[in-house]
Amino acid sequence: MSFVEDNFKMLCEVCECIAKQFGTDCEVVLHDLTRPYDNTIVAIWNGHVTGRAIGGGGTDAGLSILRGTSQPKDELCYINKTKDGKILRSSSKYFFDENGTLVGSLCINYDITGFIAGHEAMLKLTKEAEEEPKGELFTSNIDELLEALMKAAVESTGHTLHTLDKEDKVAVVKYLDKKGAFLIKKSAERVAEFLGISRFTVYNYLNEEDA
């Protein structure tokens, strides 16, 4: 049994309390991070906010943490944006077992798009600067997440997919590795097809030393 399974009833009661307090615009997600990353969501309230459901996966931020590229640290009240343009105020609380291993998380994503619209009207008078979105990727399934990561990796080179040279493709693979993309099942095959190279070449790029 995992920490989330052992404490599932209590954690769900807390999540439901938060969701009911803030209403249908507040998504609350419980992740069991001992499960495969494409189905870590074991409970969710108001999943319509990001289009996710039980059995779905997390965001690219969680992948980076599991990959070890980013450290799991609670983050409160940061700004995110969904692919359909919703502005979210998010918080992420991580759970660890007695050995200090990351085992779960509770995430809150509050849709404040309506508040922002009102705020923007006020900005015409106050000219106050908006906080920049953090850029966390919200997708309805793990395949969409990998697709979004691959597109972001290409954009990071400053070139288009069809103009990438070998150096660019190495950079794309390294970018995806740092983001934890290769923790997703069969991701090497999909990345190889996306870049027009073999899976063997993808592995060679992963093993190349950084300049």
Tens of pLDDT along 10-41? 999 999 999 999 999 999 999 999 999 899 99
- pLDDT for the residue numbered 194: 95
What pLDDT is stored for residue 62 in this prediction?
Answer: 82
The angle at the Cα of 54, spanning 175 to 185, to the nearest 5 degrees, equals 35
Q: What is the pLDDT of residue 72?
A: 84
pLDDT at 130: 54
Contact 156, 185 (CB under 8 A): no
Q: Could you say which residues of the chain have pLDDT below 50?
A: 129, 211
76, 57, 201, 153 alpha-carbon torsion, rounded to 10°: -40
What local confidence, expressed as pLDDT, does residue 133 receive? 66
Which DSSP string corresponds to 46-93? SGGGTT--TT----HHHHHHHHTSS----EEEEEEE-TT--EEEEEEE
Q: What is the pLDDT of residue 66?
A: 79
Residue by residue, DSSP assigns 14-49 as: HHHHHHHHH-TTEEEEEEETTS-GGG-EEEEESGGG
CATH code for residues 3-126:
3.30.450
Domain ranges for the chain: 3-126, 142-207
> Residue 210 has what pLDDT?
59
Give the pTM: 0.72
Q: Note the pLDDT of residue 61.
A: 84
